[in-house]
A and B are shown apart, each in its own frame.
Chain A
Amino acid sequence: QVQLVESGGGVVQPGRSLRLSCAASGFTFSDFGMHWVRQAPGRGPEWVAVISYDGRNKYYVDSVKGRFTISRDNSENTLYLQMNSLRPEDTAVYYCARGYFGLLTWGQGTLVTVSS
C-alpha cells in the first residue's frame, strides 16, 4: 500500500539547520509531484513547498523562500526538505504529501521544534 514516512524532526536552536526526509513506498515515486505541508500546534495546515515529479520545478511559500530547499532522489524514492536559518515560528509538524493539485496521500508527520 502507499506509504510515506517522514523523519529528521527534533528540537533545534534558532538559526540552526535541519534536514527532513520522507521515504516513499507502494507507488511509482517518480510519477508524482510531492509537497511539504506544516501544521503548527493548534493551527491549520500551511503549505510549504512543492517539487515536480522530475525535480525540475520547485515552488515555496514566501515565508521560507531563501531558507528552505525541497529536493528529491527518485532512485531512492525519497523526498527532502533542507531547512536553514530556522525560526521559532517554523515550529510545527511537517508532513510530506503525494500528488500535485490534490494531496492524495499524507505521511504521519515529524515534529520540528525551534527553541533556545
Chain B
Amino acid sequence: QSALTQPASVSGSPGQSITISCTGTSSDIGAYDYVSWYQQHPGKAPKLMISDVINRPSGISSRFSGSKSGNTASLTISGLQAEDEAHYYCSSYTSSKTWVFGGGTKLTVL
C-alpha cells in the first residue's frame, strides 16, 4: 500500500494551463479506472474534483480535466485562476480492495 507519486509542487501564471501527474502501479492506477483527484485549501476538507479518471462532479468547472495512460494519471487545469491555488491529491482503488492517496502537489498561481 505505497502512496502514489506526485510532484511536490507545480506553478503557473493566471490563464495558463498546468498538469499534475500521479504515478502508481499495475495494482492500482494501471488496474482500474477508479482514479480520483481532490483539491484542498488550507484548513479545509478535501473536495472531489475528478472521479473515475475523467468525470467531473456536478458544480466542478470544466477547466478541470483528468486522464490516464498506463500506471500514470494526470490532472489538467486550464485557464488558471487565483482560487485554484491549493494542494491537489490523487487517489486510486487498488487490487487489495483498499484505496491509496498520493503525497500531494502544491499548486502555486504566480
Contact = CB atoms under 8 A, between A and B. Distances in A.
What's the dominant secondary structure at chain B's contact region?
Answer: strand
B97 A47 contact: no
Contact of B48 (A44, A60, A103): A103
Nearest to B34: A101
A108 B40 CA distance: 12
Interface in A34-87: 35, 37, 44-47, 50, 59-62
Nearest to B40: A45
B46 A45 contact: yes
B97 A46 contact: no
B74 to A, nearest CB: 17
B92 to A, nearest CB: 9
A44 B103 contact: yes
Contact of A107 (B45, B47, B96): B45
B51 interface: yes
Nearest to A47: B99
A108 B41 CA distance: 12
A103 B34 contact: no
Interface in A95-110: 95, 99, 101-109
Interface of B: 1, 3, 34, 36, 38, 40, 45-48, 51-52, 55, 57, 87, 89, 91, 93, 96-104
Interface of A: 35, 37, 44-47, 50, 59-62, 95, 99, 101-109
